[in-house]
Amino acid sequence: MVPPSYRLERKPGALNSWIKAQIQDIADRTRSVLGLEGYVGQLIFQMLEDWHIHVLAWKLDHSFDGFSAYSERRGAFIIINDDRSISEERKIFSAAHELGHLLFHRDQYRGEGVVYAKSRGNLDERIANQFASYFLIPRNRLDECKIVIKRSRNKLRDVIQLKHEFGVSVQALLYALHDEGVLNGPEYGYLRKELEKRYGVQEPHPMPYVEKNRRVMRMLQQLHAEEGVSASKVAAVLGISHDEAARLLAEWEREDDGSEF
């Protein structure tokens, strides 16, 4: 079972209010199907796996944050760049972004080899970003923040505090506040410049590292106990070095030995 596929009714123009209303409706429906009332944040990785989407977190090249793949035979996959230099907030947004592609751009995944379709237009990327924003920052919960931000004498400080309510980056929350008219254009531009001046590319007060690949690790551990799995195979599946895979196998074997007593 894989998530449903949606086709947006597009009117002439870029990401206009007509398209955004459809995206928001689908984001809200998706949250409802998954039983999500409020916070998503780092829960997204487990949630995607519960929805039968294979999620793999690998340390990858910095040229991209993640990608997705799909075929009717093998199902849906989301691969996240799990490099420790990338904030967890950014990884969470990347996962939601790729979910957006799987929901809206299913026809762009080609080949039985689950080949990722890279030829996406700029509008498709904006649609996926908008979905991620609505999905991670539901607008009915954003209403609770409006009074705080409107009355704030230090908006950037308060946005940095509020981002933990949603498990997103400051940049993502600033965009949502601007998108909803809480911040006007000059305020939004000023706060983005202040954010860059103070923190550069670093995420202010980032959340701790989130362990991932739990489901696939359980599957590999079970397979190793039943049939034996090589370190090379574990390294390939988890995107880790051969030495790391060997240490992981040794840890699993110690656990198996301990469980016999």
How large a percentage of the chain has pLDDT more than 70?
91
Q: What is the pLDDT of residue 261?
A: 44
**pLDDT higher than threshold 90 for residue 256:** no
CA distance 122 to 124: 5
Q: What is the pLDDT of residue 192?
A: 97
**pLDDT higher than threshold 80 for residue 252:** no
What 3-state DSSP class applies to 216?
helix
**pLDDT higher than threshold 80 for residue 114:** no
* pTM tops 0.95: no
What 3-state DSSP class applies to 65?
coil
Q: What is the residue whose two structure tokens read 């689908």?
A: 26
Report the chain's mean pLDDT, rounded to a whole number. Answer: 86
**pLDDT higher than threshold 80 for residue 115:** no
How large a percentage of the chain has pLDDT more than 90?
47
Structural contact between residues 31 and 43, judged by C-beta atoms closer than 8 angstroms: no
**pLDDT higher than threshold 80 for residue 68:** yes
Average pLDDT of span 204-231: 82
**pLDDT higher than threshold 70 for residue 157:** yes
Q: What is the pLDDT of residue 20?
A: 95
Q: What is the pLDDT of residue 89?
A: 98
Average pLDDT of span 98-120: 72
Average pLDDT of span 121-136: 92
Q: What is the pLDDT of residue 120?
A: 53
Query: Using 50, 70 and 90 to split pLDDT, how confident is the model at 216?
Result: confident
Q: What is the pLDDT of residue 159?
A: 96
Max CA-CA distance within the chain? Answer: 68
Average pLDDT of span 14-36: 91
Q: What is the pLDDT of residue 101?
A: 93
> Taking Cα atoms as reference points, which of 135, 163, 158 lies closest to residue 148?
158
Burial label for 193, CB within 10 Å (0-12, 13-18, 19+), is exposed
**Residue scoring higher pLDDT (140 or 2):** 140
Query: Using 50, 70 and 90 to split pLDDT, how confident is the model at 10?
Result: confident
Q: What is the pLDDT of residue 259?
A: 57
CA distance 151 to 148: 5
